[in-house]
Each structure stands twice: as C-alpha cells, then as structure tokens.
Structure 1
C-alpha cells in the first residue's frame, strides 16, 4: 500500500469535482491560482487565489476546483498525519488540553508568514518528484506546523487531539450525509462503529442493507430534484454521491421505469 506524500501539488485546466469526499488528516492549503470551493454538507466556502485555509481531520466534504479564466487552477497542500503529530507532540511538548469545536474548513491570514511559506513551496515541486526526498518533505512539513501554531495557537487543541469519533446517532447521521460518496467503512468510522457493528445497527434501524438504502435514498432525492426543482441529471448526480452520469441514469431508470430526462 502506497502512502500519499505529505506535500501535494494540484493543477487543473478545467473545472474538477473529483476526489474522495472524506478528509482523513488535518491539512492546510494555499490557492496559487483559480478558486477552491468546499462544502461540508452544512456550509459552503470559497477560497480564492492567494488565500490560505486549514481543514480538520475526519470531515466529509465535497470539492470543486475552478481554473482562472483562460488559465489553470493550482494549489499546494500539506497533510499532517497522526503519527507525525504524535511524534511532534512528544518532541515539542504540545498537548491538547480540551476538546474544542471548530469549522471543518477555516480561513487563515493570507498575509501571514505561513502563507508566504506555502508560496515558497512552489519552487520545490520538481524536487519532490524525485526519490530520496522524504527527509526534506518531513522538514518542510514540520516547519509548516510550527508556523501554523505560531499564527493560530488555539489549533493546538485540535491538532493534538488524538481521540477517535465516538458512537453517535446513526439514523440522524446517515440522513444528513447520504449524499457523500464515501465507502461504508468511512460511514462506520465516523459513527464510532466497526464495519460489522455499523451494518448490524443499520439494519436494525432501517430494515435494509446500507448499500441498498444509500442507493434508494439518493434516487429518492434525485426524483424530487428533477420533478419539483426542475434540475437536470447532469446538475445533480455528483451532488448525490454518484460517480458518473451513466451509472446514475441506469439506476434511476431501473428504479422509476423512466430516464431522468423524462421525469
């Protein structure tokens, strides 16, 4: 199993909504060009060129990356894995003193030294493509974390909180988040359950398997949006957790007997 690098560069010349709709690790991102829109199911935020943001781990989120007119979208992101943060916590004596609630995504000062630091990482993009740069990546990752704590000391209680999600109301959670395209293991984890316990609890509540319920619930919402809101299939299929339009159209016709365009 390969692990993703702690520093990532994104570049798109057309609008993109691809990517896993789950954020497993804390991260900071800097928009070099274009705009980045994120929706956590409650709030939608847009970060533009030159802006910096922090994302806390264990979040469901949908992304859209918009290139500049006639140009491209570019960003630099740094991820802080739990193992790295534990080592940092021991080495520097940082600990979380309390559990605090923060937004899934929050903007950081664009004129900060951290923003300038993220901008400087653009010059390392080709360097990090080479093998044997793990030590350099680790140094840059640690530098970014030190700068983040300098401009936002309160994030210490978020970054060094190593607790896992507790068991929560499964029915309410699923009804709020059915439209996120993540696998069942993610849903189980976020509700504080093992996969087997999640499936067992789910069937006790809904009297149907999770996979079948998700498909039916998404199609039910699709039917409402198509008929009552007069939206089109291409407008809604990604928002409802379907990976491609053809799969959505096939499932919808199988469920309702007509193509989405005929509703």
Structure 2
C-alpha cells in the first residue's frame, strides 16, 4: 500500500493513499479537522455512517470508535489535509476564553461541507508542503488557533465538544457493547472507553454476558454480517470490514466455521 504523509508539524499533515482501498479501526486520541482534496472516505460509527468526498470538511471527535474506509475516486488518490486539535492546544486556547458551554459527552462527527472560511484556512497550508524551507516557527499554532476560532464562529455548539477535557466516565456496559461491537479495537481500548481498567472490564463483561469478550464479539459480528448478506444482499467484501473483521479470508473462514456455509452462498 502506497501511503504518503507529509508533516509540517506533528499536528498538521497532508495524507495521501495511492492504493485502491485502505481500512482501519480507530479511536482518535485527539479531535481531527479534515479537508478533502480528492478521493472518498466512508466512516462507520455506532450511530451513523458518513461518506465524505472532494471539498468536504469535517471534525472527528476524540474517544469515539469508528471504522474508516478510504478509496481513491475519479482516477485521483485519497488525499486530505489533517489538522489535530490537541488537548494541550485546546486547553491553552480555552484558558484565555470565557466559555460556559454545555458539555457534549459523546459527540458525533460534525460536517462543515465546503465552508469558505475553513477551506481558506486549510488550503493556505498546501504551498508549505512543497517547499524545502522549514515551516515558520509559531505559524502552526496560529493556523490551528485560526481554525478553532472559525469553528466557534460557524458552529455555536462546538465549545461543548472542544472544551470537554474529561476522560470517559464509567458507562453501562451492555448498552455500550451492543452499540460498538463492530469496531475491532484492543480490549484495553474497550475498557478505557467504558471507564474501566482491562481487569475490571473483563470481570464486568463476564458478569453481564456470561462469556468472554472475544467470543461474544465474534458471534455478534458474524450475526451482523449474516444479516447484511442475507437481508440486504450486500457483497462479502463490503460486509466483512464494516462488521469488524480484519480481512476477507479471516471473515470467510470464521463465517463458514460458525454457520456451516460460505458467505458467498448468500449472494444472489
């Protein structure tokens, strides 16, 4: 897979995937502001599925599981400008701003279409990726601060997302797992997002489901895949990744072992 990332700073990069397809399961530790130059991305979360294309600008909140599938489109690579709005930068920004925002505990993706102010801010970074001179010291913070200020101008509720510095609180385990089982994350990450240590997560899980997390997750993912194949007539290669499997061969093996027939037998 040909993936090229050019970094101006650790918080600002130009990301480019030349291949036909790239998929990952992620829980971002920082908020990410993304501007699409070319290509297409499908982002699957527990509450919604989003598709983004050329010109789109959106914010992916931290600490929310997602399956991200990137594609080239119209003969062009998947290419984006990515800006991290880190906790450190946001804390410093909000320490100088008088805000009494209502905190949004589990925010969704926020889309800004091709808003001219945000597009101008992010597009102004493009020339710097092609010059040999170092990125001017202090300019990165100025550009990130500009982006935050624009977000606050065009989205009245954004302070409730960006000014929330809390770690995930302990949540009700059954409802969380029922909503997020399709995300292929380490058990430690499931524990963190439910406000538990790994040991406590496994103990609470056994008490709630009377089985191990891995067995339960595999069964739930296979049941979801079977429904998508049989009822929605989707292709195995589409269902495989969105149901939380690493690759098509592993999915096909697990599916046949569980149901007794191959996923392709459900494709009309």
TM-score (norm 1): 0.84
Using the alignment, how far apart are the partners of 1:142 and 1:52 within structure 2? 17
138 and 104 in structure 1: CA distance in 2 versus 1, 3 angstrom threshold: same
Task: State how many pairs are aligned.
Answer: 259
50 and 132 in structure 1: CA distance in 2 versus 1, 3 angstrom threshold: closer
Residues 220-254 of structure 1, C-alpha deviations (whole Å, 9 max, x = no match): 33334444544443231101111111111222233
Using the alignment, how far apart are the partners of 2:234 and 2:14 within structure 1? 34
Deviation at 1:62, TM superposition (A): 2.4
What residue is the counterpart of 2:110 in the other structure?
106
What is the correspondence of 1:130-141 to structure 2 with a 5 Å cutoff? 135-141=138-144
What residue is the counterpart of 1:48 in the other structure?
53
187 and 94 in structure 1: CA distance in 2 versus 1, 3 angstrom threshold: farther
What is the correspondence of 1:183-262 to structure 2 with a 5 Å cutoff? 183-262=186-265
15 and 155 in structure 1: CA distance in 2 versus 1, 3 angstrom threshold: same
Deviation at 1:183, TM superposition (A): 1.6
38 and 231 in structure 1: CA distance in 2 versus 1, 3 angstrom threshold: closer
Using the alignment, how far apart are the partners of 1:17 and 1:31 within structure 2? 16
Using the alignment, how far apart are the partners of 2:145 and 2:257 within structure 1? 52
What is the correspondence of 1:66-105 to structure 2 with a 5 Å cutoff? 66-90=71-95, 92-100=96-104, 104-105=108-109
Bigger mean CA deviation after superposition, 240-249 or 96-105:
96-105
Conservation of the 8 A alpha-carbon contact between 2:25 and 2:183: no
Deviation at 1:134, TM superposition (A): 7.2
TM-score (norm 2): 0.83
What residue is the counterpart of 2:39 in the other structure?
34
Using the alignment, how far apart are the partners of 2:99 and 2:150 within structure 1? 17
124 and 180 in structure 1: CA distance in 2 versus 1, 3 angstrom threshold: same
Using the alignment, how far apart are the partners of 1:197 and 1:208 within structure 2? 15
Using the alignment, how far apart are the partners of 1:163 and 1:63 within structure 2? 25
Provide the secondary structure at the position in 1 that maps to 2:114.
Answer: coil
Provide the secondary structure at the position in 2 that maps to 1:20.
Answer: strand
Deviation at 1:6, TM superposition (A): 1.1
54 and 135 in structure 1: CA distance in 2 versus 1, 3 angstrom threshold: same
Runs ≥4 in structure 1, deviation > 6 angstroms?
129-134
Deviation at 1:68, TM superposition (A): 3.0
Using the alignment, how far apart are the partners of 1:228 and 1:48 within structure 2? 28
Using the alignment, how far apart are the partners of 1:89 and 1:78 within structure 2? 18
Structure 1 gap ranges (5+): none
207 and 110 in structure 1: CA distance in 2 versus 1, 3 angstrom threshold: same
94 and 244 in structure 1: CA distance in 2 versus 1, 3 angstrom threshold: farther
Structure 2 gap ranges (5+): 1-8
178 and 16 in structure 1: CA distance in 2 versus 1, 3 angstrom threshold: same
